Structure 1
Amino acid sequence: MSAAQLRQVNSDDLPALLALNNQHAAALSWLEPASFSSLIEKACFARTSGDAEALLIALDQDAAYDNPNFAWLSARFERFVYIDRVVVAEHAQGRGLAGALYEMLKREARANGQVRLACEINLSPPNPGSVAFHRRLGFEQIGQADLPNGKRVGYFTCAL
């Protein structure tokens, strides 16, 4: 996957990317159109590929984001880029889209003086594919939390 095929999310992408997000709501979270649009606006990084084949949304430590996972990380780190969600459409999996999105994010984060990427991954219900993917990219688990929605998550970081 070439980074040239990745591009910034634009307003025309929002309906298709929202549908992609909501098809994977169990691993991510269900969003309404206004919430999704607001999340994209707050993001320091929102990239896609093709016709809504993949999506990565990340926010830096300065984002005004009311989210328990973002708050957990904010309480522990002065500077970070929080990967709020990454998803690849089923028909596009196995083509390296997620890895390419992460590489682009890493380059941009380093260029902006960031020192770490951070994310949470569901431990209950389990998401072993995501854990394995992130470990391959150098992420290590640094904590866990039980969320009000009943999920148990692990917090992972990767030094840049």
Structure 2
Amino acid sequence: MPELVPPTVRLHRAWLDARAEWGPGQHEDGFGLSASDEVDSPEGFADWVGRLAAQADPARTIAVGRHRCTYRWIVERDRVLGAIALRDGDDDYVRWAGHIGYGIRPSARGRGLAAWALRRMLDEARALGLDRVLAVCVAGNLASARTIERCGGVPETGTGPARRYWIAL
């Protein structure tokens, strides 16, 4: 049975395995990985995990004028299957990428993990007092679009390179 866990240094090797499956230089939304993050070494990975934890602390994020972000990894038997992020704020990044972003490693797709994780993060969004959240996916990603729709996503009107959905809480 999968579980949602905060990012942890304990899963360094498992996280590297998931990243390797996506391919060099690639990552999925939900992990909070930036180009400047060095995650191969234990020290670099620990720094990155610490940065992710700091982004969930409202006192730290509000002080620098950024959105708060809660990261959760989707883990089953110490195997990282994916990740999901809940962004609480109204800055340019949230308006572009949405309140929720997620990714499932290719070998774990088709099991309903994204919908399972999304439903749990919607509970966290309610607990934060949000009344609706924006979820965005690439226009051609039909699996992600179906996932968002199954979880109550209503498409915004308009066209473009991304599908934008609002989920009422």
TM-score, scaled to structure 1: 0.66
Is residue 104 of structure 2 the alignment partner of residue 88 of structure 1?
Answer: yes
Contact conserved, 2:104 with 2:114, CA < 8 A, in 1?
A: yes
Counterpart of 2:108, as a letter, is: A
- Of 125, 138, 141, 2:152 maps to 138
CA gap of 1:108–1:71, structure 2 versus 1, over 3 A, is: closer
Describe the shift of the 1:33–1:57 C-alpha distance in structure 2 as closer, same or farther (beyond 3 A).
farther
For 1:88 and 1:39, locate their aligned partners in 2 and report how far apart those are by CA, in whole Å. Answer: 18
Using structure 2 for the length normalisation, give the TM-score: 0.63
Unpaired runs of 5+ residues, structure 2, are: 40-47, 56-68
**Any gaps of 5 or more consecutive residues in structure 1?**
74-80, 147-151
**Contact 1:9/1:48 (<8 A) preserved:** no
Closer, same or farther in 2 for the Cα pair 1:18/1:115, shift >3 Å? farther
Equivalence for 1:149? none
Report the alpha carbon displacement of residue 87 of structure 1 after superposing the two structures with TM. 1.6
The 1:144–1:57 alpha-carbon spacing in structure 2 relative to 1, beyond 3 Å, is farther
Q: Answer yes or no: is the 8 Å Cα contact 1:48–1:54 preserved in 2.
A: yes
With over 3 angstroms needed to count, the CA separation of the structure-2 counterparts of 1:35 and 1:144, relative to structure 1, is farther
Contact 2:73–2:80 under 8 Å retained in 1: no
Please identify, of 19-28 and 96-105, the stretch whose mean Cα deviation from structure 2 is larger: 19-28
Once the 2 structures are TM-superposed, how far is the Cα of residue 6 of structure 1 from its aligned partner? 2.4
1:41–1:116 Cα change, 3 Å: same
* Structure (1 or 2) with the larger CA radius of gyration: 2
One-letter code of the match for 1:56?
Answer: I
Query: Which residue of the partner structure matches residue 158 of structure 1?
Result: 167
**What whole-Å deviation, never above 9, does each CA across 1:91-128 have from its counterpart, x for those lacking one?**
222333222211211222212211112121111xx111
Runs of 4+ in 1 over 6 A off after TM superposition: none
1:57 to partner: Cα distance? 1.5
Matched residues, percent identical?
20
2:88 counterpart residue number: 60
Correspondence 1:34 to 2:37:
yes
**Mapped partners of 2:158, 2:38: distance in 1:** 26
**Residues matched between the structures, number:** 139
Aligned-pair RMSD on alpha carbons?
3.4
Cα distance in 1 for residues equivalent to 2:128 and 2:82 = 23
Structure 1 CA distance for aligned equivalents of residues 108 and 11 of structure 2: 17
Q: Are 1:117 and 2:120 counterparts?
A: no
Structure 1 residues 48, 106: CA separation in 2 closer, same or farther (over 3 Å shift)? Answer: same
